Amino acid sequence: MSGKGLVDAERRRFNRLALAPSLIVLFVIAGLPAIYLVVASLTPFQLVNPGSSTDFSAPLRNYRLLPDDPRFVNSLWVQAKLSFWGVLFQVLLGMLLALLLHTQSRVVEFARTFFLIPMVLPPIVVAIIWKLIYTPDISPLYYAAGLLNIAMPSLTSSVDFALTAIIIADTWEWMPFTFLMVLAALQTIPDEFSEAALVDGANRLQIFFYITLPFITPILVISGMFRLIDSVKAFPLVFLLTGGGPGSVTEVTNYYAYLLAFDFNEIGYSSAVTIVMLLLVVAVSLGVVWMGRRREAME
């Protein structure tokens, strides 16, 4: 057995050598900044106030100010709304699209790639595309509304519709993600189940609800959670379409933190807002990992 022992030792050494550089790099470029972020959130650090970066006299000051900051609380609500509706529609529409394309055909397989376009576009280009659609002067949407005599307000400067406008753009952009995942899952469902059910006289709807849906539900949940985590990063759409407005109706937490840090230069306070966001992301990520491990255990 000593031969195997040597091999094992050599393997372990190799593994360590293979892993080490990545871990070091990750620690330096991801770990250290994260630590710095926590430290900064304990100070009233403002760029124009150099002394404030090491002022630890009231470490929890920022965190205590957060719940009383109506703009912060509002941003959490806006984020929740954006994430909820966005993810819901992305999952639903992605699933419907996957069902539509779930068929044996070279043509369809070729066409499938084109459905991915919104997802691979640079997000800022997606924002530009929708800016063009939402600008009354040059948008076919408004022209059509004019023809039909519908008085359509400028969506991105309307209190009621600004967030909806962003949700629509966001859904358009990310629906291909769920579509892709559900389609892959659909293609793993064994044909025998549905064939047997058809022979037994089940109709399409029943097949969908009793066979398809249970199969793809875990994928729906997982892709929903991935999208949920990513939805916190929403920035280009808000930046270009509404600037957080009108008022603060589309000001998501990420955007508010950006304004705090880079317009008002309140680094300390912005770090505290970011930490809260990170905690939320971590919580959802834990959920994803837990679900993944549960599935592994079941398989």
Partner 1 sequence: MSGGMSGGISGPIRRSASVRRLVAIGVTLITLLSPFLWLLQMSFKSNDLILQFPPPLIFTPTLQNYASLWQGAFPASFLNSLMSASFSTALALILGVPAAYALSRWAGRGKHALSFAILVTRMAPPIAFTIPFFLFYRWIGLLDTVTGLVLVYTSFNLPLVIWMMQPFFETVPSSLEEAALVDGASTRIVFLEIVLPMVTPGIAATAILCFLYAWNDFFFALILTRSNARTAPVAVVNFMNYEGWEWGKIAAGGSLVMAPVLIFSLAVRRYLVSGLTAGAVKG
Partner 2 sequence: MTKENSSHKSAGFSRRTLLQAGAATVGAAAFPMPVIAQTKPFAGVTLRGASFQHRFFTLLQNYIPEFEAQTGMKVDLQLSAFPVYNQQANLELSSGGSAFDFVNVTFILAARWVAAGLLANLDEFTGDPNLTPAEWKPKDFVEGAQVPYRDAKGATYGYSWEGGAMVMGLSRMDLMEKKGLKIPKTFAELQEVCAAINGTDGVTGLVSFQLHHWCLPPYIQGFGGNIFRNPPADIMPALNSPEAIQAIEFYANLLKNYAPKGVLTYTEDQARQALLTGRSNIFIHSSAWITPILLSNESKVKDTSRVVRMPAGPVRDFPAANSQGLGIPKNAKNKKAAWEFIKWALSPEISMRLVKEHGHSSVCRKSVIESEEYRRLNTVNGQDLGALYLEVLGLPAKGENYMAYRTVKEFPIVGDVLNKAFEQVATGQLAAPAAMNAAQEQAVANMRRAGTAL
Which of the choices partner 2, partner 1, none does residue 129 contact, using the CB cut-off of 5 to 8 A by kind? partner 1
**Candidate residues 115, 161, 174, 269; the one interacting with partner 1 per rule CB under 8 A:** 115
CB of 126 to partner 2, least distance (A): 18
Query: Is residue 235 a contact residue for partner 1 (CB under 8 A)?
Result: yes
Instruction: Name 194's Cβ contacts closer than 8 Å, sequence gap at least 6.
Output: 207, 211, 212
**How large is the C-alpha radius of gyration of the chain?**
25
Give the number of C-alpha atoms closer than 13 A to the C-alpha of residue 5, restricted to the C-beta side.
2
Size of the residue set binding partner 1 (CB under 8 A): 107
Query: How far is residue 99's CA from residue 110's CA, in Å, rounded to a whole number?
Result: 16
Query: Is residue 151 a contact residue for partner 1 (CB under 8 A)?
Result: no
CA angle at 27 for the pair 288 and 225, rounded to the nearest 5°: 15
Which of the choices partner 2, partner 1, none does residue 265 contact, using the CB cut-off of 5 to 8 A by kind? partner 2
Query: Is residue 21 a contact residue for partner 1 (CB under 8 A)?
Result: yes
Which residues here bind partner 2, judged by CB under 8 A? 44, 46-50, 52, 65, 68-71, 135-137, 153-154, 156-159, 242-243, 245-249, 262-266, 269
Query: Is residue 34 a contact residue for partner 1 (CB under 8 A)?
Result: yes
- Cβ proximity of 62 and 268 under 8 Å: yes
Which of the choices partner 1, partner 2, none does residue 18 contact, using the CB cut-off of 5 to 8 A by kind? partner 1
CB of 121 to partner 2, least distance (A): 21
- What are 293's two structure tokens? 């491990």
| CA atoms 252, 269, 263, 35: torsion sign | negative
> Which is closer to partner 1, CB of 32 or CB of 159?
32
Query: How far is residue 294's CA from residue 291's CA, in Å, rounded to a whole number?
Result: 5
Query: Is residue 288 a contact residue for partner 1 (CB under 8 A)?
Result: yes
